[in-house]
Amino acid sequence: MDFYQTDLSQLHADLVNKKISATELTKETFDHIEANDDQVKAFLTMNKEAALKKAAEVDAAGIQDDQLTAGVPLAVKDNILTKGLRTTAASKILENFNPVYDATVIEKLNANNFINVGKTNLDEFAMGSSTENSAFFTTHNPWDLTRVPGGSSGGSAAAVAAGDVLGALGTDTGGSIRMPASFNGVVGMKPTYGRVSRWGIIAFGSSFDQVGWLTRTVKDNALLTAMISGNDPHDMTSSVKEVPDWAAQLNDDTNVKGLRIAVPKEYFEGINDDVHDVIKAALDHLESLGAIVDEVSLPHTKYGVPAYYILASSEASSNLQRYDGIRYGFRAKDVKNIEDVYVRSRTEGFGEEVKRRIMLGTFSLSAGFYDAYFNKAAKVRRLMAQDFDNVFKDHDVIVGATGATPAFKIGAEIDDPQTMYMNDVLTVPVNMAGLPAMSVPAGFSAKNGMPVGLQIIGKAFDEQTVYNTGYVFEQTTDVHKKAPKLGGQN
């Protein structure tokens, strides 16, 4: 199956009209994955047997018109709990962990009879921007196998870019959906904080984490995000707001006439020339379609990365206390006493980056340092949210680059955590303020042909305007039609 030739609505119609069966589709999907995944390495766990069994059940029951994802193969990031299917968060500490329940997002998809083809690779506990922090292996960018796919949802983004699936679930704490979407030339939406339940997501930074989709098209993204959104009594931070039918409004490719687009000048500081040129051209294009483009300032942008890494690491240091060598997963061998169980299981079970964050977070929260670090970063968070509020008083969306560079080479930044953290400079402000934001393919670097993403940021719970803007851009350009030539020159 080549998912570049179709979309969710078309595939659903083909399944309902029996042009293809769920079983045939699932088999073709695995043929495609098996032909490329030893190069791309997007998947940590394949779910072939169960997927084919489910497809046969779906075929036997018949595919209903109101079940959009019935019989549709999709992939799931491996920090999302799937009952009975190994879920590792790409960590040795959870290497053999089999969840006893499904995340709410999986329950919702199961209710719609989706086919879970497998679990995708990520940076360990979603900490990283390249998937190089996976305890198992690095995923390769399908556009150039010597480059990273971004992170932390790098496996999900690469699976979509490689044409393995139409959509893959990701999570975004500081850019983990949008940044890999940008690096792989796919669409990635982080919904408003609270839009999607976090129940059954392996917690990293609970006041930031949000689930969303990586897809090939904007419309597929809107359809799939609606399916997983909504209030969940298991997650006290999930919103009771009604979930609009975003996709229903995506039929008009003139939707940006009169749209007030704010372009923060800080989002152009320090970005690569090739990214700059693609983003500038994208903005000119939106302006030519009738949007009103204004330069604005988000003055606290530069504090985003340091503040985020203090706050998210503090939350992580608390969330990761549960991996104690007793309750789940890995336990060190030949331990002498209880303290040894804790210390050695965590020392041997966690990777370098996870340990770095636990130490950074514990330090920031400790007596004597709390005010200077955690508290100060929390104040920065408020200021950054206010920056956005000010701009949104008279603008509909904020637009800029998703990443300051296109995908970098594997190995180029892994020994330099600060450089790696700086990849998030344009994405973390959105998580600090809990806003919705999407990366859509904007074009390709003139230097190396790698994809470049355009980030569209909306007001809280206004995913609609974000989708509208992305849809118009997509429909009036050809960028999303180009597929990578796996292993070849692009």
Ligand X SMILES: NC(=O)C[C@H](N)C(=O)O
Give the binding site for ligand X (CB under 6 A): 126-129, 152, 172-176, 312, 424
Q: Which residue of the set 41, 54, 77, 108 is catalytic?
A: 77
Active site residue 130: no
Neighbours of 13 (CB within 10 A): 12
Residue 208 CB, nearest distance to ligand X (Å)?
A: 7
Instruction: Decide if 199 contacts 234 (C-beta within 8 A).
Output: yes
Residue 423 CB, nearest distance to ligand X (Å)?
A: 7
| Tokens describing residue 215 | 């897809």
Q: 3-class SS at 68? A: coil
β-bridge mates for residue 167, sequence order: 215
Q: Which residue of the set 91, 129, 152, 313 is catalytic?
A: 152
CA 43 to chain CA mean position, Å: 15
d(CA 469, CA 402): 15
Q: Which of 68, 48, 49, 78 is nearest to 169 (CA)?
A: 78
**116 or 176: whose CB is closer to ligand X?**
176
Residue 214 parent element (H or E): strand 210-215
Residue 129 CB, nearest distance to ligand X (Å)?
A: 4
Active site residue 9: no
R_g of the chain, CA atoms, integer Å: 21
d(CA 179, CA 118): 22
Phi/psi at 413 (nearest 5 deg)? -125, -5
Q: Which residue of the set 130, 134, 156, 176 is catalytic?
A: 176
**152 or 229: whose CB is closer to ligand X?**
152
Helices (H), 62-144: 104-111
3-state SS track over 386-446:
HHHHHHHCCCCEEEEECCCCCCCECCCCCCCHHHHHHCCCCCHHHHHHCCCEEEEEEEECC
**54 or 119: whose CB is closer to ligand X?**
119
Residue 134 CB, nearest distance to ligand X (Å)?
A: 13
Q: Which of 403, 453, 437, 489 is nearest to 185 (CA)?
A: 453
d(CA 329, CA 96): 6
Pairing of strands 73-77, 167-172: parallel
Phi/psi at 382 (nearest 5 deg)? -60, -45
Active site residue 313: no
Distances (CA, A) of 121 to 149, 371, 441: 10, 36, 22
Query: Strands across the sheet with 73-77, in order?
Result: 43-46, 115-120, 73-77, 167-172, 210-215, 187-190, 437-444, 451-458, 397-401, 260-264, 292-296
Pairing of strands 397-401, 210-215: unpaired
Residue nearest to ligand X (CB): 176
Residue 140 CB, nearest distance to ligand X (Å)?
A: 19
Neighbours of 264 (CB within 10 A): 22
CA 190 to chain CA mean position, Å: 7
How many residues does the structure list for the chain? Answer: 490
Phi/psi at 361 (nearest 5 deg)? -70, -45
Q: 3-class SS at 452? A: strand
Residue 152 CB, nearest distance to ligand X (Å)?
A: 5
Provide DSSP, 4-24: GG--HHHHHHHHHTTSS-HHH
Q: 3-class SS at 118? A: strand
Name the residues annotated as catalytic.
77, 152, 176
